[in-house]
Amino acid sequence: MRKVELGKTGEQIPVLGQGTWGIKSRKGKDYYDSWKKSLRKGIELGLTHIDTAEFYGLGTSEKIVGEIISEYNRDDLFITSKLFPMHFNFRTMKKAASKSLKRLGIKNFDLYLIHWPSPFTSVEKQMNILDHLVKEGKTRYIGVSNFSVEQFKEGLSFLNTELVTNQLPANITKQKHISESLPYYQENGVTLTAYSPLGHRGYSTLKGELRDKLNIIAKTHNATIQQIAIAWLINHKNVMTVPKAFKIEHVESNAKAAEINLSEEELKIIENTVDS
């Protein structure tokens, strides 16, 4: 699996990880076993970065990811989780981070993000908790998600540590952050983690001009349009992504997408077919 540098940390991280938003609560054993099978397959194929959050399945995703972590050497996995903006002060934010670590069964996150800029707490307070968690050794790296470039810069102004990533919605049908925000992150050595790389639903019903053009590109590379959609993202410098796949065949297909090199012309075709 191809790797990219995480921010300016010098740490190399797989360009493709595994998303876990889809893991639901209150499901049967077979359901969770299938999820775990897919996550294990991903790890086997080098998708060792697992993205979770306290919000996903209201803790269930972290719990299942924790069960997977317990099967591996901790250092072989890179675990990201996120603080949901429903905690109002330092004490409750700290407690939420501890609960996430407990569900994951680990001593520290590799990367901990503010999931959304909080409407209730200042950016300064949100950065204070991240800073505190780094100092306490509860997370190796910190970052944010769903922050605008302006909010990201404001966050940095309160920190001596780098924010290694901004996790943002970015895909072939939602290209705004690639065209508008990515240049800032590239210039400043920040990784853009593209979420919902397959438009959240997997593009099975994608129609129109974009579908037609993707079909042509996919044929050239003997690939699926979903593989081309993923390849399009990670063919950009400073971008990594975390597709979610419950089905094992999807995990296998996604891993292969990391090997696809698109030409400048193919990248432009995809960019010029969508105005977003």
Ligand X SMILES: NC(=O)c1ccc[n+]([C@@H]2O[C@H](COP(=O)([O-])OP(=O)(O)OC[C@H]3O[C@@H](n4cnc5c(N)ncnc54)[C@H](OP(=O)(O)O)[C@@H]3O)[C@@H](O)[C@H]2O)c1
Q: x/- site string to ligand X, residues 129 to 158, per CB under 6 A?
A: ----------------xx------------
Backbone angles phi, psi at 158, to 5 degrees: -100, 5
Q: State the number of binding residues for ligand X (CB under 6 A).
A: 28
Q: Which residues pair with 174 in a beta bridge?
A: 171
Question: Quick check: 57 binds ligand X (CB under 6 A)?
Answer: no
237 closest CA partner among 267, 214, 213: 267
Residue choice 41, 175, 243, 255 for contact with ligand X (CB under 6 A): 243
Question: Under rule CB under 6 A, which residues in 249-268 are in contact with ligand X?
Answer: 250, 253-254
Residue choice 200, 215, 269, 274 for contact with ligand X (CB under 6 A): 200
Residue 114: exposed, middle, or buried by beta-carbon count in 10 A (0-12, 13-18, 19+)?
buried
What is the rounded CA–CA span in Å between residue 66 and residue 51? 12
Question: Quick check: 195 binds ligand X (CB under 6 A)?
Answer: yes
Q: Which amino acid is at 178?
A: I
Residue choice 7, 19, 66, 117 for contact with ligand X (CB under 6 A): 19
Question: Quick check: 48 binds ligand X (CB under 6 A)?
Answer: no
What is the rounded CA–CA span in Å between residue 269 and residue 235? 14
Query: Residue number with the shortest CB distance to ligand X?
Result: 19
Q: Do 85 and 121 contact (CB within 8 A), yes or no?
A: yes
Residue choice 109, 197, 228, 231 for contact with ligand X (CB under 6 A): 197
What is the rounded CA–CA span in Å between residue 174 and residue 189? 23
Question: Quick check: 84 binds ligand X (CB under 6 A)?
Answer: no
Spatial CB neighbours of 9, under 8 Å, sequence gap ≥ 6: 141, 162, 164
Minimum CB distance to ligand X smaller for 160 or for 222: 222
- By CB under 6 A, which span of 129-137, 194-202, 205-213, 258-266 interacts with ligand X? 194-202
Minimum CB distance to ligand X smaller for 87 or for 115: 115
The enclosing H or E element of 8 equals none
Instruction: Provide the b/e sequence for 25-51 (b: ≥16 CB within 10 Å).
Output: eeeeeeebeebbebbebbbebbbbbbb
Question: Quick check: 201 binds ligand X (CB under 6 A)?
Answer: yes
Binding site for ligand X (CB under 6 A): 19-22, 51, 115, 145-146, 167, 195-202, 224, 226, 242-247, 250, 253-254
